[in-house]
Amino acid sequence: MTELNELISYFEKSISDNWMSKAEKRALKAAVADLDPNKHDLDWMRSKVFDIARKHISGGKNDEVLEWLEGANKILLPKATITKSETKAFFSPGNDCLNAVCNQISYSTNSIDVCVFTISDNRIKDKLLYAWQKGVKIRIITDNDKSFDKGSDVHELANAGIAVKIDNSDNHMHHKFAVFDKKVLLTGSYNWTRSASEYNQENVLITSYLQVVEQYNTAFEKLWTGTITLHE
């Protein structure tokens, strides 16, 4: 709550001259993004913003205050939409599934946890390498047998420094899912291979439904604990 109160104090300072400058808008928007408030916190902050506006309206400068309020509200509303549970589906053959995977990798800013049967599509491999080079933490779990297939990219990813593990089982690790920034889940039948994009009938589902994402986060951590590090 201390961080929320500090953010509200920044909003109060921004109205001191009855004007929210572009620089103030950028700074406040960045501060809200860093805080990453949930829906309850966003609702609370919006109520505080309206309280601030009410106090200044009594001073007689209604037009200026309303303009400030509009700007403040726009800063808080976009993050509120992110908290909604959104789900989208994609299908192959074609590039829809491939683009869905690559886009989610590009959008990630903190972490990517990948648990897939195999990775042999260089387009996906290159996206993972680029994300890792930008500082995104990446962990990969893949099938022990498929890791030695001709064209498999997991050894190159491991050699680059990405944490890669394989299952320690005689049976296949057949999952095809990934969790991005602990908030967005991508799953479906789609193998991360070129043939899945160009020839196969496959599907990808992307959802930010919190309860489901948390279940996959838990499953990944359990699998990660029971797997072994990939060695050349």
Q: How far is residue 164's CA from residue 142's CA, in Å, rounded to a whole number?
A: 8
Among all residues, which ones are annotated catalytic?
174, 176, 181
Q: Under 8 Å CB-to-CB from 11, ≥6 apart: which residues?
A: 28, 48, 49, 52, 72
The secondary structure of the chain as a DSSP string is -HHHHHHHHHHHHHTTTT---HHHHHHHHHHHHHH---HHHHHHHHHHHHHHHHHHHTTT-HHHHHHHHHHHHHHHHHHHHHTS--EEEEEESSSHHHHHHHHHHHH-SSEEEEEES-B--HHHHHHHHHHHHTT-EEEEEE-TTGGGSTT--HHHHHHTT-EEEE--SSS----EEEEETTTEEEESS--BSHHHHHT--EEEEEE--HHHHHHHHHHHHHHHHHSEE---
